[in-house]
Amino acid sequence: MYQLRTIAFIFNGFSKNSKSINTKCDNNIEERTLEITCQTFSEIVYQSKELCTSNTKCGDASKKCLRSPIEKIGICVCRSEYISFGSKCLEGNLQLNDKCQRSEQCSGTVGAICQNNTCVCRPRYVPLNDSSCFSPDISYDLCTSHKECRDESKSCSMTGQVGICTCKSGFIGFGHECLKGNLSLNESCQRTEQCSMVLGSVCQNNRCDCKSHFIMTPNVLYM
């Protein structure tokens, strides 16, 4: 078996020479040596390519030299519009159809990933516009023309390559359903919000009716 005789700690950033600290051990055990080796500034610069004194020293337009005002040397880091991957800085916040290398770059479009070096919507997702990819869970609300909206109460509101089926004027949206609004007394209804023609009316038994303890005068209800 081998016996440990020397432990060496190496500290970067010092300019003084190496020093050894010898300590005499008790119980007649031979002495051990703690050796500290200090490197000079020039040795550090030579060993590290990521150290810099100015932006031009980083050698890459995607990087800048980060250092405090009191330090002569700094480190090369990615600029704010880039994403760091190891020693590389890749452009971030890309949108659909932009060139990419990693999915993290495609953050300019929600739901996008990088495939074949291009930002695209993830599988089974569809593009709404340059900034959003929609889940198939709501795909039946997506459209490219009015004819694709399944309900006559809806129209296609285009916001980009794809639009959304929204309620036409005069209808009220309840989830994915559009119900006719501004109904008068005795008209068929499903919700009280539809009975907006007469102030104070409610939907009861699928008919717009006066609230309890209210009476109707022309277009107005009074208690």
pLDDT tens for the chain, 223 residues long, are 455 555 555 554 444 555 555 555 556 656 555 565 554 444 444 444 578 888 888 888 899 998 877 878 888 888 888 988 878 899 988 999 999 999 989 988 878 899 999 999 888 787 876 677 877 667 557 788 888 887 888 888 776 667 778 888 888 888 778 899 889 889 999 988 888 888 778 899 999 998 876 766 554 444 3
pLDDT of residue 42: 43
Query: How many angstroms from the chain centroid is the CA of residue 126?
Result: 18
23 belongs to a structural domain: yes
145 belongs to a structural domain: no
Are residue 61 and residue 24 in the same domain, yes or no? yes
Are residue 10 and residue 73 in the same domain, yes or no? yes
**DSSP class per residue in 168-204:** PTTEEEETTEEEE-S--TT-B-SSGGG--SSBTEEEE
Claim: this prediction has a pTM higher than 0.75: no
Sign, CA dihedral 90-91-94-98, equals: negative
Are residue 103 and residue 70 in the same domain, yes or no? no
Are residue 96 and residue 122 in the same domain, yes or no? yes
158 belongs to a structural domain: no
168 belongs to a structural domain: no
Are residue 28 and residue 72 in the same domain, yes or no? yes
pLDDT of residue 98: 94
Residues 77/63, Cβ–Cβ less than 8 Å:
yes
Domain containing residue 210: 181-222
Are residue 107 and residue 65 in the same domain, yes or no? no
**DSSP class per residue in 115-152:** ETTEEEEPTT-EEEETTEEE-GGGGGGEESSGGG-SST
What does each C-alpha distance from 204 to 65, 100, 120, 189, 194 come to in angstroms?
71, 58, 50, 8, 12
29 belongs to a structural domain: yes
Residue type for position 221: L
12 belongs to a structural domain: yes
205 belongs to a structural domain: yes
pLDDT of residue 44: 45
Count of domains in the chain?
3
